[in-house]
C-alpha cells in the first residue's frame, strides 16, 4: 500500500524538513516562488501527461479519438466557465476533493468517506487559514466573465471562532472516519494529517498548497501510474518517464507562453488548472477501476 511505501516515508521526511526550515528560517518570497516553480515543472504539471497511455484503443486512430475527447472535455469546461462560472467553480472543488482523496487512499469508490474528507481537508484548510487572500482569488476567478463575488469574512463578526469550529469539526470527522475505515493504518494517516496541517499553518496560501499538491498528490499519482505501467505494458521507470516527455514538454511550453504573454495571474492559473484537471480526473478515476488496480497498489 502507498501509506506503507518507501515513497510515503520520503514524503514525510521531506515535509518535516521543509517545516523545520520554514519554522526556523525566514524564507524570502522569491525563494518560495522558485521552490514552487521547480516542483510544478518537475512533477506538478507533468504528473498527468501520461493519461493517453490508458486509452482503450492503443492504435494511432485510438490516440486521435482520445485526444478529441480529452480536448472536447476541456472545451466544454471552458464554455461552462464562461456561461456559468459558479457551476464551474463548484465543479472544480468537487472534482478536486474526490481526486486528491482518491489518490491518497487508492480507492476507486465514489462513496469512500475518508477519501472525500481528506480531499476536503487538503483544499479547505489553507482557505480557512488564509480566508481573505483565498476569497480574493475566488472572486477574481468568478469575475472572469460576469461580475460575481463571494462574501468575505468582513460580514462575520465572529469569523475567527467560526474558523476554529470548522477546523475542529472537519478534523474530528476525518479522524473518526480513519478509525472506522482505516484502523490498521490509522497511525500513518494521522501522522500525515498532523504534518500537512502543521505545514499549512506555517506557510502562505500558495506556497503551502503548491508544495502539498506536488509532494503529497502528484508524486503519489506518478507512483501509482508507474506501477500500473510496469504491470500492464512491461516497461520500466525510465520508459515511463520517457513517455511523459512529449506532453510534459507541450504543457510546460504552453504554460511558459501564457506567463510570458499574460504574466502570472493566480486566478487565471487556477482556471487553467481546472481545465486540465477535469479530463485527468476522469482518466484516473477510470484507471482506479481497472481489474488489476488492487494488484497495482
The pLDDT value recorded for residue 146 is 61
Contact 226, 237 (CB under 8 A): yes
- Residues 6+ positions from 242 with CB-CB distance below 8 Å: none
The pLDDT value recorded for residue 193 is 98
**Higher pLDDT residue, 156 or 191?**
191
Question: Nine-digit cell at 267?
Answer: 486566478
Task: Tally Cβ neighbours within 10 Å of residue 6.
Answer: 8
The pLDDT value recorded for residue 114 is 97
Q: Is the pTM of this model over 0.85?
A: yes
The pLDDT value recorded for residue 16 is 98
- Tell whether the model's pLDDT for residue 142 goes beyond 60: yes
Kindly indicate the confidence band of residue 295, based on its pLDDT and cuts at 50, 70 and 90.
Answer: very low
Kindly indicate the confidence band of residue 152, based on its pLDDT and cuts at 50, 70 and 90.
Answer: low
> What average pLDDT does this structure show over 10-29?
96
The pLDDT value recorded for residue 31 is 96
Kindly indicate the confidence band of residue 151, based on its pLDDT and cuts at 50, 70 and 90.
Answer: low
Q: What gap in Å lies between CA 191 and CA 199, rounded to an integer?
A: 12
Q: What gap in Å lies between CA 192 and CA 198, rounded to an integer?
A: 10
> What average pLDDT does this structure show over 22-42?
95
- Tell whether the model's pLDDT for residue 239 goes beyond 50: yes
> What average pLDDT does this structure show over 146-173?
73
Over residues 240-288, the pLDDT tens digits come to 988 899 999 998 998 888 888 887 788 999 999 999 999 999 999 888 8
- Tell whether the model's pLDDT for residue 294 goes beyond 60: no
Q: Which three-class secondary structure state does DSSP give residue 235?
A: coil
- Tell whether the model's pLDDT for residue 296 goes beyond 50: no
Question: Nine-digit cell at 100?
Answer: 486528491
Kindly indicate the confidence band of residue 94, based on its pLDDT and cuts at 50, 70 and 90.
Answer: very high
Over residues 157-166, the pLDDT tens digits come to 556 778 889 9
| Percent residues over pLDDT 90 in the chain | 67
- Tell whether the model's pLDDT for residue 154 goes beyond 60: no
Over residues 69-91, the pLDDT tens digits come to 999 999 999 999 999 999 999 99
The pLDDT value recorded for residue 258 is 84
Contact 52, 64 (CB under 8 A): no
The pLDDT value recorded for residue 123 is 96
Contact 178, 190 (CB under 8 A): yes
The pLDDT value recorded for residue 265 is 85
Closest CA to 86 of 146, 132, 131: 146
| Percent residues over pLDDT 70 in the chain | 92
> What average pLDDT does this structure show over 93-114?
93
Amino acid at each position: 500500500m502507498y501509506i506503507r511505501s518507501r515513497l510515503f516515508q520520503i514524503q514525510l521526511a521531506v515535509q518535516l524538513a521543509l517545516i523545520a526550515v520554514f519554522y526556523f528560517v525566514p524564507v524570502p518570497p522569491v525563494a518560495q516562488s522558485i521552490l514552487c516553480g521547480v516542483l510544478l515543472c518537475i512533477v506538478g504539471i507533468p504528473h498527468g501527461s501520461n493519461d493517453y497511455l490508458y486509452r482503450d484503443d492503443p492504435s494511432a486512430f485510438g490516440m486521435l479519438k482520445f485526444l478529441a475527447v480529452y480536448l472536447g472535455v476541456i472545451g466544454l469546461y471552458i464554455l461552462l466557465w464562461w456561461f456559468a462560472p459558479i457551476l464551474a467553480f463548484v465543479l472544480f472543488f468537487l472534482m478536486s476533493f474526490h481526486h486528491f482523496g482518491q489518490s491518497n487512499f487508492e480507492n476507486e469508490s465514489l462513496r469512500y468517506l475518508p477519501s472525500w474528507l481528506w480531499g476536503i481537508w487538503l483544499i479547505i484548510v489553507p482557505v480557512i487559514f488564509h480566508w481573505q487572500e483565498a476569497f480574493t482569488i475566488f472572486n477574481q476567478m468568478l469575475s472572469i466573465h460576469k461580475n460575481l463575488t463571494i462574501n468575505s469574512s468582513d460580514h462575520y463578526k465572529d469569523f475567527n471562532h467560526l474558523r476554529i469550529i470548522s477546523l475542529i469539526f472537519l478534523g474530528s470527522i476525518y479522524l473518526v472516519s480513519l478509525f472506522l475505515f482505516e484502523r490498521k493504518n490509522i497511525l500513518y494517516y494521522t501522522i500525515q494529517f498532523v504534518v500537512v496541517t502543521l505545514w499549512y499553518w506555517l506557510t502562505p496560501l500558495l506556497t503551502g498548497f503548491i508544495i502539498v499538491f506536488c509532494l503529497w498528490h502528484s508524486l503519489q499519482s506518478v507512483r501509482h501510474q508507474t506501477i500500473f505501467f510496469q504491470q500492464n505494458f512491461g516497461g520500466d521507470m525510465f520508459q515511463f518517464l520517457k513517455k511523459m516527455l512529449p506532453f510534459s514538454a507541450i504543457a510546460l511550453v504552453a504554460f511558459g507562453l501564457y506567463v510570458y504573454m499574460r504574466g502570472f495571474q493566480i486566478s487565471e492559473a487556477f482556471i487553467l488548472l481546472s481545465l486540465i484537471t477535469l479530463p485527468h480526473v476522469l482518466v484516473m478515476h477510470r484507471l482506479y477501476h481497472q481489474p488489476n488496480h488492487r494488484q497495482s497498489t
